[in-house]
Amino acid sequence: MTQNSQLIKISKFLSYHLRHNPGEIGLELEPGGWIAVEALLAAAQAHQFPLTRSQLNLVVETSNKQRFSFDSTGTRIRANQGHSIPIDLQLEPRCPPDILYHGTGHQAVESILAQGLQKRARHHVHLSPDIDTAREVGMRHGKPVVFTIKAAKMHQSGHLFYCSDNGVWLVDEVPPEYLGLG
């Protein structure tokens, strides 16, 4: 296995267990979604996924979307966003830029224009700070389409925005009146 494909495999292992199913390897996340690095390495080892601290460091450093962070002491790790289990990331509401972007597949456009953006299986609707990132997110769902979101207007009307440690903007929903195409 090349180093790169090994890092991707580790990243997927971490995404699954730190965002969706820590219980499967006997872990329970702490408030904020944190887990002790030692506990994670031991659990991985015990479930036939041997993982070293230096491999973990490499994944955290090189993840193209900075999916994971260590805490300031380096003894705990968490996924920066994308959870489906109930985790309070303890983020403070932030003032968003004027415009944010959301990439999706073209087959979802009609429904989104009618209903707005909904969070589905995640805790929030995920919004990107730039068009290129949004297009990449959209490509995961087929032919990509990028919506513009009048974020400052939404914020003025009382919607709360959060920004994850890796620069993904999070909001509960985007009603149709704040959405634009192109």
Q: Is 168 near ligand HQG (CB under 6 A)?
A: yes
Choice between 57 and 66, CB closer to ligand HQG = 66
Size of interface with ligand HQG, in residues (CB under 6 A): 18
Q: Is 117 near ligand HQG (CB under 6 A)?
A: yes
Helix (H) or strand (E) holding 35: strand 35-36
Q: Is 65 near ligand HQG (CB under 6 A)?
A: yes
Residue 135 has phi, psi (to 5 degrees) of: -65, -40
Residue 177 has phi, psi (to 5 degrees) of: -65, -15
Q: Which tokens go with 141?
A: 């769902």
Instruction: State the nearest-atom distance from the C-beta of 82 to ligand HQG, in Å.
Output: 4
Q: Which residues on adjacent β-strands are paired with residue 78?
A: 69
The only residue of 118, 139, 177, 180 in contact with ligand HQG, by rule CB under 6 A: 118
Q: Give the whole-angstrom CA distance, residue 150 versus residue 125.
A: 14
Choice between 48 and 86, CB closer to ligand HQG = 86
Residue 43 and residue 27 in contact, taking contact as beta carbons nearer than 8 Å: yes
Instruction: State the nearest-atom distance from the C-beta of 181 to ligand HQG, in Å.
Output: 13
Choice between 50 and 142, CB closer to ligand HQG = 142
Residue 71 and residue 51 in contact, taking contact as beta carbons nearer than 8 Å: no
Q: Is 69 near ligand HQG (CB under 6 A)?
A: no
Instruction: State the nearest-atom distance from the C-beta of 107 to ligand HQG, in Å.
Output: 8
Q: Which tokens go with 16?
A: 């699954």
Q: Give the whole-angstrom CA distance, residue 165 versus residue 146.
A: 23
Where do contacts with ligand HQG occur on this chain (CB under 6 A)? Answer: 65, 67, 82, 104, 108, 111-112, 115, 117-118, 120-122, 126, 137, 140-141, 168
